[in-house]
Amino acid sequence: MSTATRPTKTIPVAKPFFGVEEEQALVSSLRSGWVSQGPKVSEFEKRFADYVGAQHAVAVSSCTTALHLAMIAAGIKGGDEVICPSLSFIATANCIRYVGALPVFVDIDPLTYNLNPLQVEQAITSRTRAILAVHQIGLPAALKELKAIAEHHGLILLEDAACAIGSEYFGSKIGQPHSLMACFSFHPRKILSTGEGGMITTNSEEVSTRLRRLRQHGMTVSDLARHSSNKVVVESYDEVGYNFRMTDLQAAVGIEQLNRLDDMLARRRHLAKRYTQELSKLNWLITPIEPTGYRHNFQSYMIRLLPERVASRDEIMQRMLDLGISTRRGIMATHFEPPYADRDWNSLLPETIKATAQTLILPLYHLMTEEEQDWVIQSLVESAKG
């Protein structure tokens, strides 16, 4: 890598990519008269299910609402325990609390940052109802091992696949799913973005039917079905539901994002490979791994600093920001936050604690140039020196 010249603009940690196609789709949807949940949502759901290989996909307003509905559809109730990582965005644990259940935090594999199956086995009690696996920043969790544990103990396996669109596990795309349900995010920091939005995939027709009702106030007949009928249809509301719908405006954008997804994934993997080739030469950090059979989508590129060999993570982040480069701390540890500090988890989560203090996310986005990437690498090296 040659010495990079400093770009004149700030380099963000992430940036969504929208083109003319998304703009045209949005205008077309506006002019159609369908701006809430309608035909574009149905089309997006079908296209998404086909892409990941699932039988059903249910669009919702965010991954958080997807996880919330997944908990309800899985029958998780007050007093149940759900095993999950602390090393995850707080929504992972929040969705468990939404239904009155208790998140039980389990430590991670320090190489993959995903749930350690051996630790999961040890955390199961008579109150355990489910395991919520998280595919951290796009690297699949150990689904085969977690599924075997769940089946052995009669538990439900769910996937927080917020970051995992396009990721693969032994030749199968995440979202088929390998569990009862997998939940995706379309937040602007994700590879496929609709601004906000989420998707639940499942192979259960019964589960998908209930999810569709729950997302729309428990309504037994959708607006699209009623307006498309040539007979008067009167719906009923058989259980308490929610307003967790995706709009047709979002879905129209999502369809175009799905059309360009493979190209976006290829670009991210190319840039991630360049990062790894250069950064693996440094003896004070660890680059991401990709175990055999796993395919990372590199929703984020996260390195791990070795504290005994380099300046503190936060000092490096500030120095890089002073140079015009945005970074992000690695993955948060949920058990450090006040709503989850009601129990002393620290002795059970040593790898989680180290990972959250030592990891750093570098800029990575579709339109990032190699010149910008070279500047990030050079600035990281300079900032680490102090």
Q: What backbone phi and psi angles, to 5 degrees, belong to 210?
A: -70, -40
Cα 323 off chain centre by: 29
Q: Provide the 8-state DSSP code for 340.
A: G
d(CA 303, CA 358): 8
Please pick, among 9, 15, 144, 190, the residue that the annotation labels catalytic: 190
Each as own residue / partner, the long-range contacts of residues 220-224 (CB below 8 Å, 24 or more positions apart, any chain) are 222/37, 223/36, 223/37, 223/38, 224/37, 224/38, 224/39, 224/41, 224/42
How many C-alpha atoms does 197 have within 13 Å on its Cβ side?
A: 28
Strand partners, 128: 81
Measured CA angle at 46 (ends 16, 240), to 5 deg: 90
Q: Tell me the H-state helices in 10-124.
A: 20-32, 39-52, 63-73, 91-98, 117-123
Q: Please indicate whether residue 281 is annotated as part of the active site.
A: no
Determine contact, residues 160/150, Cβ cutoff 8 Å.
no
d(CA 61, CA 335): 26
Q: Which residues are catalytic?
A: 190
